[in-house]
Structure 1
Amino acid sequence: MTDDGSAARASTMFGDYDIIETVGQGGMGIVYRATDTSLGRTVALKVLKDDLRSHKAVVARFRREAQAYASLNHPNIVQIYSVGAVGGIPYIAMELVDGDPLSKVMKRERRIPWERALAIGEQIAEALGSAHEAQIIHRDIKPGNIIITRDGHAYVTDFGIAKVLTAETQLTVDGSRLGTPQYMSPERCQNAEITFSSDLYSLGVVLFQMVTGRLPYESNDTIELIRKIVSDPPRRVSDFMPDIPEDVERLIAYLLEKKVENRPASAHEWIYLCNRVREGKSMVEDDSGLESSLKSFRDSQPTPATPIASDSDLLEESDSVLERVRNQWNAQSLNVKTVVAWGIVSVIMGMIGLLYTMGIGPATANDLSRRLGATRGDWSSGNRVASFYPEMPGLTLVQLNNLDWLPDPAGWIDASSGLVHIVGRSGSAWEGRRGLVSIRKGNKDVRIVLAPTDAESIRIVGLESARATAYVELSEKGSDEYQLYGAELAADGTSVVRRQSLYNVIGKPARDAFSAVEQIVFLSSDNRMIVIGESLATPGESGIYVFEKGKSAGRSIVPPGMPIGKIAATDDESRVAFSRHDEDGNWRMYTAAIGGAGQSEELVSSMLTAEGSFAVHPSEELIAVAEAGAGNVQEVVLYSLRNRTRTLLIPNASDVRWHPSGVDVIALAPDLKDVNQLWQVSTADPHPRKQLTFLEDGVSDIGRISNDGKTLLAITDSDTKSLLVVMDLEQLASGL
């Protein structure tokens, strides 16, 4: 294992543990699948991160919390086998559960039937009840900390982790890194005392999300979200699921009460009520039967050895569970004064928003998120179009402040200015709208380039670094005509957009030669450019041509034929690599000499996984390609144009780019949970690799790498989040 806790390679020994592979990464450490050689069993080995090992208090508390956690023995809690240190590196060896995080299950299913959700919730509550009896508060109940096996068994993991981090270092835990504390209780949002009841509140949020596919409180602004959790009534399950049984809704709402004293007195009490609902019995009855049975149940429960003062002070023994459930439910649903009060607040907030839009003050981030895409003014420098969240050293997540917009990396104008397409999400008010924004490396700012419009398509035709200009083709709905725009980006991120013509961009000879231009690659020398397009002589067929501004004619380097996809020039601009459809609709990859003419292309691979799944080495002698091999098995291979050799680098990989070092590649391949992540792979035998990203939703594709090869812009693989992934490859992907 490396000293920095980076992903271990096969057959790496760590004390008595033989490291097999990386499983994941959390707020405190990296988790490996390992074999305990002394006992011959497979374990999950969590190793404390390097940046936390320097905090002596964190290390001490890590051990104390892990040892306390190890004392828990419950079928719904991941079992701790041992706690120790090897070479001064603390670790926890625990049970390796074969299952998926609940977060992945919810992403896959979106909504879980309430019957199964309650069964899962009951198991989580059982685990919490056992921990609370041992005086242990979890503090970070969320879908990512719950594992579900194929047979529906639920396991709770990571007890005490949040306490270790926040108590000693004020660092944020992994679940709060995105600044979205959706699962935090009101008391935790106010930095008040955290109690057993705080875990129950978080369980309520998880249940709400399982059943509805939504959250009781939602906002793109962290401060606003916390304000809602503290002050606003939660939304009701029936707002999203009108046919939900009333008692199921009540059962979840009982956990989401703002005041500790209004929630269940214990996890076991809630389990008792949950069992009633699952058996088809009413949670709240008018007769005294339920009240009597609840009293008998509570009297039978053991009193905690050291009850938390805030709970005992707040709870009044005379207030029965029946009355609390009935009163709080009625207060939420029927209290006219509450409805009127919040209605007045809504009207006032609406008037304030109206005044802002009339020019009394700058638009807020929340106002922007409601109006995003309406006008260019909404995207001015005074507005927060996106929020930036450091996920780990070298990796930042960027979220558009309106979740109705989906980002898609488009390319880089230069080494520091990236471009991102934005598309209105299907089913949203912005469906069908498209726009373009810019993001600057090292500057936490996203700016509008082309305001969202009701366009049929927006396509980047070319990126000219010398002029810091992107040439964008836009087609309006219902029109067969295309308009060309030139967007020039200034150093401060602002842009000037002007209507352009092919005559101005590539000159009259090139304009007159084509019926359609598909792509322009600007070369750095001699005012030359490579143009992919349909010539007037061969309409419907794509060819590659080289033009020089001021010259009377261009020259064909790849003759017209089947459609051409991605094209890339070598660093010395002597050759181009490109993908092209064959007659069966598959993508093939070729190279051609820019100085050649006519039939100059050379086939390299006939099995690309996608039109852009190749990368040319700066030396132009090596090309990394993601191929679909026999049986459609995807893999990344390395072709040597000089030696005519083909070498397998990594199996089960679907995309590839070169690392800035020129020695390694960045590949897209699944992790143990079958979620696509980014990996660094050495081209030197035996091709060791390490996992670079540990994102819950994974990475959709490798995306775009900046012109200097140092920054990667990708997106997470999620239908519910609008997250860009910005990676500093030099910092994150160190040498293997």
Structure 2
Amino acid sequence: MDREDVLPTPPTGTPLPTVVGERYRLDRSLGNGGMGEVFEATDLTLHRSVAVKLMSPSLVQDEPARARFLREARALAQVNSPNVVAVYDAGEDAERPYLVMELVEGTTLERELVRSGRVGPARAVAIATDIASGLAAAHERGIVHRDVKPSNVFLTPSDAAKIGDFGIARLERPDATLTLTGQTFGSPPYMAPEQATGGKVDARADLYSLGCVLFQMLVGRRPFSGDDAVSLVYQHVHSTPPRVDRLVPAVRAELGALVASLMAKDPDDRPASAEEVRRALESVPTEPIAPPTTTATAVLPRRALELGQRRKPWWPVAAVILGAVALLPLLVALIAGGNPGPASSPTQQASTTPSSLASSSSPSGAPPQTPEAAGAALLASTQQLQDAGAIDHKLASDIEHAVDEVLNGHGHGHEGDAGNTLNDLKEKIAEAVDHGTLSAANGRRLTDGIDRLEQTLNSEGD
């Protein structure tokens, strides 16, 4: 029941039936995949909505494909779990196999991630726990899904997760070793190394894929990115992604360790079973860790932190100098034996100088004086807007990357490049305001922050 990647149904030359199996009325298409098309339908006997998958006419005469299609029905029929899409019926209509399944109301995890970017630790763990529970039920019946990915995870209105589309599932029995020559099983962004290299695949391959999905929920991107399947497969086999708790400070170390263990290259280094993963997820702490200083620290690029640590605050030195200058007339008057007068009395000097210094030079109230401080302030504003749902995830990511690029390039002769980067960023913000995805007030707030960052860069370049 993969409703993602909905494609227009190509002309087949074979008219679609109105009623399948003399019982299921086809109401509307939900999507068209490699094995067939999925419809929302009505069960005319029980008067309920169902999902009906009709095998593609081009595959009807392909015996291995027919066997694979019917295997999905048998695989699902064996699994009884609230976290697996239920199968109700299967059969053939005019020699065309069909499968009748539970119609899941709600959305898919893939659509949710496109909408929100990433999921908070508590909700991500809850969804992953449901996925692990469904996989445990399937694995108990000897069924390996082999294609666990966000588009195959359905989220109900109550936010429960259900696994669907067992079309390439494998039954781990000697009499059920169906393969399709020349076809690749699984989805490269979530594929276990042993699956990608044609090795022996067992239930632990599903756990690797679950680790990839959990990584994406927590971080907001897939573990690996590439221009093609070959690049992705190479990275799954040879590269280790960073731990999620290092990428997202709010994620606890225990959860980061669990994700890392799920994505271990060697299946023997992964948890032994989906049930073990389910229990681990139920016990892992999900309360966010408070950042050590401010929100800006959590999102500030590493170079900015390093540079900021090397710089000493300027305002204590300024306070000492101003204080010395303010006391100089009094000192001269005392030496000369004269009266400094009421206009320059020590009391008045003491009451005016510190207050003006606090209002104009206080580190908490003054505008940022360094690129690092200005970058931190801009990132803090962006994070606050993102937490409030007031900014598009992509725009927020563009701001973070631009600040990182500017700060990493600062001091290496890239002032012109920095100016171009910040101007491009302001144009993106203006477009977001024009399109209504960002309010005008928040747009000005971000643009002001970019201007301050640019001013500090120019000041240091003088």
For the aligned pair, the TM-score class normalised by the smaller chain equals 0.5 to 0.7
Counterpart residue number, 2:38? 31
Q: CA deviation at 1:172?
A: 4.6
| Structure-1-length-normalised TM-score | 0.37
Secondary structure, counterpart of 1:81 in structure 2: strand
Instruction: Please list every run of at least 4 consecutive aligned residues from structure 1 whose deviation after the TM superposition is greater than 4 angstroms.
Output: 5-8, 162-166, 424-431, 454-457
Instruction: Give matches, 1:514-529, under 5 Å.
Output: none
Residues 47, 89 of structure 1: 8 Å contact kept: yes
Residues 217, 235 of structure 1: 8 Å contact kept: no
Q: CA deviation at 1:111?
A: 1.0
Instruction: Give matches, 1:94-133, under 5 Å.
Output: 94-133=101-140
Output the CA distance in 2 between the equivalents of 1:48 and 1:107: 29
Q: CA deviation at 1:220?
A: 2.0
Output the CA distance in 2 between the equivalents of 1:14 and 1:62: 16
Structure number with higher helix proportion: 2
Moved more, 161-170 or 260-269: 161-170
Counterpart residue number, 1:14? 20
Output the CA distance in 2 between the equivalents of 1:261 and 1:251: 14
Q: CA deviation at 1:3?
A: 8.4
Instruction: Give matches, 1:101-500, under 5 Å.
Output: 101-161=108-168, 167-172=179-184, 176=187, 181-278=188-285, 428=401
Q: Which runs of 5+ in 1 are unaligned?
A: 281-404, 407-423, 432-453, 458-476, 478-736
Q: CA deviation at 1:274?
A: 1.5
CA 1:455 to 1:266, structure 2 compared with 1: closer, same or farther past 3 Å? closer
Output the CA distance in 1 between the equivalents of 2:50 and 2:207: 29
Aligned residues: 291
Residues 685-725 of structure 1: per-residue CA shift (max 9 Å, x gap): xxxxxxxxxxxxxxxxxxxxxxxxxxxxxxxxxxxxxxxxx
Counting aligned pairs with the same residue, the percent is: 38
Residues 40, 51 of structure 2: 8 Å contact kept: yes
Asked which structure has the greater CA Rg, the reply is: 2
Residues 378-406 of structure 1: per-residue CA shift (max 9 Å, x gap): xxxxxxxxxxxxxxxxxxxxxxxxxxx99
Residues 53, 100 of structure 2: 8 Å contact kept: yes
| Structure-2-length-normalised TM-score | 0.57
Residues 255, 284 of structure 2: 8 Å contact kept: yes
Output the CA distance in 1 between the equivalents of 2:190 and 2:240: 15
Output the CA distance in 1 between the equivalents of 2:181 and 2:108: 27
Q: CA deviation at 1:243?
A: 3.0
Q: Which runs of 5+ in 2 are unaligned?
A: 1-8, 172-176, 288-393, 405-419, 428-462
Q: CA deviation at 1:245?
A: 0.9
Which residue identity is paired with 2:89?
A: S
Residues 69, 159 of structure 1: 8 Å contact kept: yes
1:47 aligns with 2:54: yes
Counterpart residue number, 2:303? none
Counterpart residue number, 1:87? 94
Output the CA distance in 1 between the equivalents of 2:402 and 2:222: 20
Residues 69, 80 of structure 1: 8 Å contact kept: yes
CA 1:115 to 1:2, structure 2 compared with 1: closer, same or farther past 3 Å? closer
Secondary structure, counterpart of 2:74 in structure 1: helix
Residues 12-69 of structure 1: per-residue CA shift (max 9 Å, x gap): 2223211111112223111101112122221100111123223112102321332132
Residues 607-656 of structure 1: per-residue CA shift (max 9 Å, x gap): xxxxxxxxxxxxxxxxxxxxxxxxxxxxxxxxxxxxxxxxxxxxxxxxxx
Output the CA distance in 2 between the equivalents of 1:110 and 1:166: 37
Q: CA deviation at 1:278?
A: 4.1
Which residue identity is paired with 1:13?
A: V
Output the CA distance in 2 between the equivalents of 1:53 and 1:170: 18
Q: CA deviation at 1:171?
A: 3.3
Counterpart residue number, 1:461? none
Q: CA deviation at 1:84?
A: 0.7
Counterpart residue number, 2:296? none
Residues 69, 160 of structure 1: 8 Å contact kept: no
Secondary structure, counterpart of 2:214 in structure 1: helix
Which residue identity is paired with 2:156?
A: T
CA 1:249 to 1:39, structure 2 compared with 1: closer, same or farther past 3 Å? same
CA 1:109 to 1:455, structure 2 compared with 1: closer, same or farther past 3 Å? closer
Which residue identity is paired with 2:18?
A: T
Residues 455-504 of structure 1: per-residue CA shift (max 9 Å, x gap): 999xxxxxxxxxxxxxxxxxxx9xxxxxxxxxxxxxxxxxxxxxxxxxxx
Residues 263-303 of structure 1: per-residue CA shift (max 9 Å, x gap): 011111111221221488xxxxxxxxxxxxxxxxxxxxxxx
Output the CA distance in 2 between the equivalents of 1:77 and 1:62: 17
What RMSD in Å do the two structures reach over aligned CA positions?
A: 3.5
Moved more, 189-198 or 266-275: 266-275
Counterpart residue number, 1:360? none
Q: CA deviation at 1:222?
A: 2.6
Output the CA distance in 1 between the equivalents of 2:169 and 2:56: 15
Q: CA deviation at 1:425?
A: 6.3
Counterpart residue number, 2:74? 67
CA 1:2 to 1:27, structure 2 compared with 1: closer, same or farther past 3 Å? closer
Secondary structure, counterpart of 1:161 in structure 2: coil
